[in-house]
Amino acid sequence: NAGVTQTPKFRILKIGQSMTLQCTQDMNHNYMYWYRQDPGMGLKLIYYSVGAGITDKGEVPNGYNVSRSTTEDFPLRLELAAPSQTSVYFCASRLQGEDYGYTFGSGTRLTVV
Amino acid sequence: GNSVTQMEGPVTLSEEAFLTINCTYTATGYPSLFWYVQYPGEGLQLLLKATKADDKGSNKGFEATYRKETTSFHLEKGSVQVSDSAVYFCALTGRDYGGSQGNLIFGKGTKLSVKP
């Protein structure tokens, strides 16, 4: 049981480049989330999804896009990378109705130069 | 809106010292409360949880009690070890009066360093 898998683990982008952060879970969780973690700032919610075909904005969605074509996958797209998007990105998932907290991936460290 | 406030770090303790990390919250409805731990270079792991007032969550020697009257969920451990060095996050999911659970909201995290 792999849990939540994120790829890549590290990436350096140049300003204006685009990339997709991959996230997949094998627990059949219907809810999935993308957070970014900046030093000393905790985690901020970027986007979330309550099921395949349904996505919604979180607290800091600007500069990002998501899609949810399957239950398992929830990729995060950066279209025009900016230095302000340098951060560590975490994907997470949970079951609706489960009050056990979220399962997190191990993160993607992104640097935009 | 819902929010979590936890004590500023870093916190540096000697091995076997007593640990308290304060956490208070603001929430409507009936939130569930969590402590997550992040070890260096890793993602977040659920440490413990409490889903209603007066519940005590516990795991690996850590404890926290859901205090509705003081809107607090302080993390405690009687004797810390070097291996407890990590960043600790207090978090909540709001729950409205209809029972729907909201998204996870985090405090800023408290870095704990334990010296031998």
Closest CB from B93, B101, B106 relative to A42: B106
SS3 string, chain B, reads CCEEEECCCCEEEECCCCEEECEEEECCECCEEEEEEECCCCCEEEEEEECCCCCEEEECCEEEECECCCCECCEEECCCCHHHCEEEEEEEEEECCCCCEEEEEECCCEEEEEEC
Q: Is the pLDDT of residue A31 over 80?
A: yes
Give yes or no for B44 touching A (CB within 8 A): yes
Residues in chain A within 8 Å Cβ distance of B103: 33, 45, 48, 58
**Residues B64-88: tens digit of each pLDDT:** 999 999 999 999 999 999 999 999 9
Residues in chain B within 8 Å Cβ distance of A58: 103
Closest CB from B49, B101, B103 relative to A45: B103
Closest CB from B43, B51, B107 relative to A104: B43
> Which pLDDT belongs to residue A42?
82
pLDDT band for position B8 (cuts 50, 70, 90): confident
pLDDT band for position A1 (cuts 50, 70, 90): low
